[in-house]
Amino acid sequence: MSGGAEKGGAGVAGVLIVDDEEPARSILREHLEGLPGVRVVGECANGFDALKSAVELSPQIVFLDIEMPKLDGFEVLELLDPAIAPVFVTAYDEYAVRAFEVHAVDYVLKPFDPSRIALAVGRARERIARGPAMRAGELHAAARPGGAFLARVVVRDGSRVHIIPVERLDAIEAQDDYVGLKSGGKTYLKPQTLSSLAEALDPGRFVRVHRSHLVRLDAIARLEALAGGSHVAILADGTRVPVSREGYTRLKDLLC
Amino acid sequence: MHPILAHPGRLLPYLAACTPLIAILTALFARPGGLFLGEAIALAVPLTFAYAFMGLSAWYPCRQFPLNRSRALPLVLAHAAAAGLLSAMWVVFAALLAGTLGLLPVFTGLQARFGTQAIALFAAGVLLYLLAAALNYVLVALEAAAEAERREAELAVLAREAELAALKAQIRPHFLFNSLNSISALATTDPPRARQMCVRLGDFLRRSLALGEKTSISVGEELELSRAYLAVEELRFGSRLEVEEELDERGQTCLVPPLLLQPLVENAVRHGIATRVEGGIVRLGVACGAGRLRILIENPYDPESPPRPGSGRGLVNVRQRLTARYGEEALFAAKRLADRYLVVISVPVEMPA
């Protein structure tokens, strides 16, 4: 095929395909291999494999299915190197599609239209040139189906992936561009804003007790008053979390 | 509130029906050795309307002690107490009235003459209470019948809504688009399988659409629909999806509401098999015995995979339709075990005529 890469120096883009259905992977490969300047570097059938392959095969673009075993597409994206441009793949999911549109993340619908796939690859190349723009955590929060709250939070710790069910997430602290997730006496750092995470968690279980602290209600063992009207929440494991005046009012509203 | 007082249109006819009491009371008071006729009428009119309202209070003991569900002694005691209390109040009211009227020159001496009537009036009050209780029992029964009718109509609407929701949810867009995508994939890599998938998808859609008008189908037909669905999913999931059936002959001829099994089988695939890297086996069991039809659907799931939205609605819908059809005779249990999901249905056996 002629035409080559539209942009000078774009080179060959490595693409990783992640979908748990074999027929879906094979047709995606077929369409992608027909495009100039694209090389399919691998196929994965679940979220864990996708993370491993992303490190080993260093693709520039990943085509990501949403519903998969182990980790879903949004969770994979949160853990993936942000330099990799994602293109979501979905059959029908009104919430996710709306979230993609809001956050300007590209997606292709099943059954695949080859020209739409070509367009997605073109856009992904432009995004690689611009550098990462989208925040995966915020996208995930926005893609929740109506009324559903996160059941678990994923976080990467070196090469290990931790999955923290919300019932084991004790407190969350904002630290610059990161949030510190406290669970079972350990703290895990994740690049996300506290507000976007707070929005995706059940407000009946997690309380913003301070501008930069979120606490799970059941994790609080007791409250201590400090001089000057502020308080401190003491968690079951002894962690002390500052509680502002507004936070204290919010806590009281929920507890009474 | 009392059904007569709650509807203003009912009050006038009720009061009109009470007017013969005026004549009875007048006759009672004016019998030889009693009151003068004018005095009797002057007392009978207000006493009649007073009792018309007081008698309504029998509604409360009547509702509290339904005839068919109360023990005899408490029922008799309650009504005896109510009759005594009401009659005593009536006599006191009558005495006060006689005293007041006695102040008028025309009725001089009424108060003294009324004293001889008190016992007769009390007896009349007790008899009237029995009449009022009978009337109120009739009202209670009418009200209960209306309530039962309303509940039945409500259940019928609920059942129809549940059927419609089931039909709408039947062909999930997700399933359809994924299947089309698989056909599109197989068209180049494996054309015979692509054709096979078109046939199976067509078969499934045809069967689903044919169910729209039926209120009952045999378990066997329902199984056929589930198999048509699973046949499509098998092409999509490949070796990850396996199905095992354990069916008894008689169970398959039993009648059930349509689309009972298929949504549950779909859940088993979507929330079970699809969450596991290695896939697994969906087990279907149908057994019939001791007048009950038992259906079991079991599938493994990965507790470490992210939960997928949308399982609740299918289960709620199946449960609602079972309740609408069998009432409390239906048993529906969905259990999430450590690595398996189990749905058990048990309903009374219903055989085709």
Evaluate if residue A4 carries a pLDDT over 80. no
pLDDT at B316: 83
Test the A interface: residue of B171, B175, B178 with most A CBs within 10 Å: B178
Q: Rounded distance, CA A188 to CA A152, Å?
A: 14
The phi and psi torsions of A85 (rounded to 5 degrees) equal -85, 125
- Give yes or no: residues B232 and B322 share one domain: yes
Cis preceding linkage at A111, omega within 30? yes
- Give yes or no: residues A160 and A133 share one domain: no
- Give yes or no: residues A110 and A86 share one domain: yes
Contact criterion met (CB below 8 Å) for A232 and A223: yes
From chain B, pick out residues whose CB is under 8 angstroms from the CB of A73. none
Would you call A243 helix, strand, or coil by DSSP? strand
Domain of A57 in residue numbering reads as: 13-142
Is residue A70, in this structure, part of any structural domain at all? yes
Q: Rounded distance, CA A66 to CA A153, Å?
A: 16
pLDDT at B55: 86
Q: Rounded distance, CA B33 to CA B11, Å?
A: 36
Is residue A71, in this structure, part of any structural domain at all? yes
Structure tokens at A252: 């009281």
Is residue B296, in this structure, part of any structural domain at all? yes
- Give yes or no: residues A32 and A135 share one domain: yes
- Give yes or no: residues A192 and A84 share one domain: no
Lowest mean pLDDT, pick from A180-184, B191-195, B301-305: B301-305
Task: Kindly state the percentage of chain B with pLDDT values over 90.
Answer: 41
The phi and psi torsions of A192 (rounded to 5 degrees) equal -165, 160
Cβ contacts from A onto B, under 8 A = 76
Is residue B166, in this structure, part of any structural domain at all? no
> Closest residue of B to A73, CA-based?
B306
Is residue B159, in this structure, part of any structural domain at all? no
- The residue type of B293 is L
CATH number for the domain spanning A37: value is 3.40.50.2300
Contact criterion met (CB below 8 Å) for B304 and A72: no
Interface of B with A (CB under 8 A): 173-174, 177-178, 180-186, 188-189, 235-238, 274-277, 302, 304-310
Is residue A5, in this structure, part of any structural domain at all? no
Q: Which residues contact B84 (CB under 8 A, 6 or more apart)?
A: B126
Instruction: Tell the residue number behind the tokens 């997730």, with chain if given.
Output: A181
Q: Which residues on neighbouring strands pair with residue A178, listed in sequence order?
A: A175
- Give yes or no: residues B112 and B199 share one domain: no
Contact criterion met (CB below 8 Å) for B95 and B117: no
> What average pLDDT does the segment B120-144 reach?
90
How many domains does chain B divide into? 2
Structure tokens at B154: 């409500």
Q: How far is A10 from chain B (nearest CA, A)?
A: 29
Q: Which of A26, A45, A93 sits opposite B185 (nearest CB)?
A: A26
Domain of B32 in residue numbering reads as: 3-154
Is residue A227, in this structure, part of any structural domain at all? yes
* pLDDT digit string, tens, across residues A132-158: 666 777 778 777 776 688 889 999 888
Is residue B66, in this structure, part of any structural domain at all? yes
pLDDT at A7: 41
Q: Rounded distance, CA B197 to CA B205, Å?
A: 12
> What average pLDDT does the segment A11-22 reach?
93
Lowest mean pLDDT, pick from A61-70, A224-233, B294-303, B327-336: A224-233
- Give yes or no: residues A132 and A224 share one domain: no
- Give yes or no: residues B87 and B175 share one domain: no
Query: Of A79, A107, A142, which marks where a domain is finished?
Result: A142
Instruction: Tell the residue number behind the tokens 């005779």, with chain if given.
Output: B329
Query: Of B154, B189, B219, which marks where a domain is finished?
Result: B154
∠ CA(B25), CA(B28), CA(B32), 5° rounding? Answer: 150
From chain A, pick out residues whose CB is under 8 angstroms from the CB of B276. 69
As a residue count, chain B comes to: 353
- Give yes or no: residues A133 and A72 share one domain: yes
Task: Tell me the pLDDT of chain B averaged across its residues.
Answer: 88
Q: Rounded distance, CA B303 to CA B22, Å?
A: 79
∠ CA(B232), CA(B177), CA(B192), 5° rounding? Answer: 45
- Give yes or no: residues B147 and B22 share one domain: yes
Q: Which of B181, B276, B306 sits opposite A71 (nearest CB)?
A: B306
Is residue B179, in this structure, part of any structural domain at all? yes
Contact criterion met (CB below 8 Å) for A136 and A77: yes
- Give yes or no: residues A158 and A137 share one domain: no
pLDDT at B315: 84
- Give yes or no: residues A59 and A96 share one domain: yes
- Give yes or no: residues B108 and B57 share one domain: yes
Is residue A147, in this structure, part of any structural domain at all? no
Is residue A138, in this structure, part of any structural domain at all? yes
> What average pLDDT does the segment B283-312 reach?
89
Evaluate if residue B222 carries a pLDDT over 80. yes
- Give yes or no: residues A108 and A19 share one domain: yes
Would you call B352 helix, strand, or coil by DSSP? coil
pLDDT at B80: 92
- Give yes or no: residues B175 and B130 share one domain: no
Is residue B80, in this structure, part of any structural domain at all? yes
Q: How far is B280 from chain A (nearest CA, A)?
A: 13
Q: Which of A23, A112, A152 sits opposite B186 (nearest CB)?
A: A23
pLDDT at B171: 64
Structure tokens at B141: 């029964």
> What average pLDDT does the segment A99-126 reach?
88
Query: Of A87, A109, A142, which marks where a domain is finished?
Result: A142
- Give yes or no: residues B38 and B107 share one domain: yes
> What average pLDDT does the segment B165-170 reach?
60
* pLDDT digit string, tens, across residues B22-39: 998 898 888 887 888 888
Is residue B161, in this structure, part of any structural domain at all? no
- Give yes or no: residues B193 and B141 share one domain: no
Q: How far is B333 from chain A (nearest CA, A)?
A: 24
Q: Rounded distance, CA B176 to CA B311, Å?
A: 17
How many domains does chain A divide into? 2
Is residue A8, in this structure, part of any structural domain at all? no
pLDDT at A3: 40
* pLDDT digit string, tens, across residues B27-72: 888 888 788 888 888 889 999 999 988 888 888 888 888 888 888 8
Q: What is the DSSP string of B11-47?
A: HHHHHHHHTHHHHHHHHHHTSTTS--HHHHHHHHHHH
**B318 — pLDDT class (breaks 50, 70, 90):** confident
Query: Of B154, B188, B210, which marks where a domain is finished?
Result: B154
pLDDT at B344: 96
> What average pLDDT does the segment B242-246 reach?
95
Evaluate if residue A253 carries a pLDDT over 50. yes
Q: Which residue has the higher pLDDT, A3 or A43?
A: A43
Query: Of A85, A114, A142, which marks where a domain is finished?
Result: A142
Structure tokens at B288: 């019939």
Q: Which residues on neighbouring strands pair with residue A207, listed in sequence order?
A: A215
- The whole-model pTM stands at 0.68
Q: Rounded distance, CA A188 to CA B202, Å?
A: 50
Evaluate if residue A104 carries a pLDDT over 80. no
- Give yes or no: residues B234 and B337 share one domain: yes
Lowest mean pLDDT, pick from A138-152, B112-126, B223-237: A138-152
- Give yes or no: residues A112 and A161 share one domain: no
- Give yes or no: residues B201 and B328 share one domain: yes
Evaluate if residue B7 carries a pLDDT over 90. no
- Give yes or no: residues B325 and B214 share one domain: yes
Cβ contact, residue pair A67, B189, below 8 Å: no
Is residue A33, in this structure, part of any structural domain at all? yes
Query: Of B119, B154, B189, which marks where a domain is finished?
Result: B154
Is residue B196, in this structure, part of any structural domain at all? yes
From chain B, pick out residues whose CB is under 8 angstroms from the CB of A152. 306
Structure tokens at B122: 């009390």
* pLDDT digit string, tens, across residues A30-83: 999 999 999 999 999 999 999 999 999 999 999 999 889 989 898 998 898 888
- Give yes or no: residues A49 and A136 share one domain: yes
Q: Rounded distance, CA B123 to CA A81, Å?
A: 95
> Closest residue of A to B176, CA-based?
A91
Q: CA A127, A129, A131, A133 torsion: positive or negative?
A: negative
Structure tokens at A211: 């501008």
Query: Please, is B273 exposed, middle or buried when counting C-beta atoms within 10 Å of its C-beta (0-12, 13-18, 19+)?
Result: buried
- Give yes or no: residues A112 and A172 share one domain: no
Would you call A143 helix, strand, or coil by DSSP? coil
Cβ contact, residue pair B184, A111, below 8 Å: yes
Q: Which residue has the higher pLDDT, B9 or B272?
A: B272
